[in-house]
Amino acid sequence: MVITGILLAALAGALVSLQTIFNSKVNERTGPWSSTALVLFTGFLASFAISLLVEGKDTFSIQHMKPWYWFSGAIGVGVVFCLMQALKLLGPTYAISIVLTSQLSFALLFDSMGWLGLDKIPFSWNQLVGVLIIVAGILLFKLGGKSEKPNAVAPSREGQ
């Protein structure tokens, strides 16, 4: 079970990166809000069709759900919009690094506080140090010496 969870999490990470790049390409052709609508609409169609195939009539079994969970789709709008804009402004690697660090930081906060119906997981300083190491890695990646691009045409050595 743990191996399956690790593989699914790794696949999710790869798909988020791939989706982000695809979303930015859609955003180049349309505006940010129409891109967001298109991306989420096609996601809705795909997930709805798969849900009907896999779950059948249970697709519509949504009793006993807390009302605030209905806002998940609206949160998704913010995720897609912000990620597309960050990618355009920062580039894929830097934007995704910041997104993942933010995601990890908030997951640590939500877990340790037991918010939003999560089981409370005791906070440890090792967890915080892990997040700070990731932040340091991002800073090292972004700020740590930029290599010079090689010249497209080598200068002529005539006359030497």
CB-CB contact of 43 with 55 (8 Å): no
Q: Which residues are within 8 A (CB) of 39 and not within 5 positions of it... i.e. 6 or more apart?
A: 19, 23, 26, 80
Query: For 12-63, what is each residue's pLDDT tens digit?
Result: 888 888 888 888 888 889 988 998 899 899 999 999 999 999 999 888 777 7
pLDDT at 157 over 70: no
What is the predicted pLDDT for the residue at 156? 47
Task: Give the type of residue at 7.
Answer: L
What is the predicted pLDDT for the residue at 149? 52
What is the predicted pLDDT for the residue at 46? 95
What is the predicted pLDDT for the residue at 129? 92
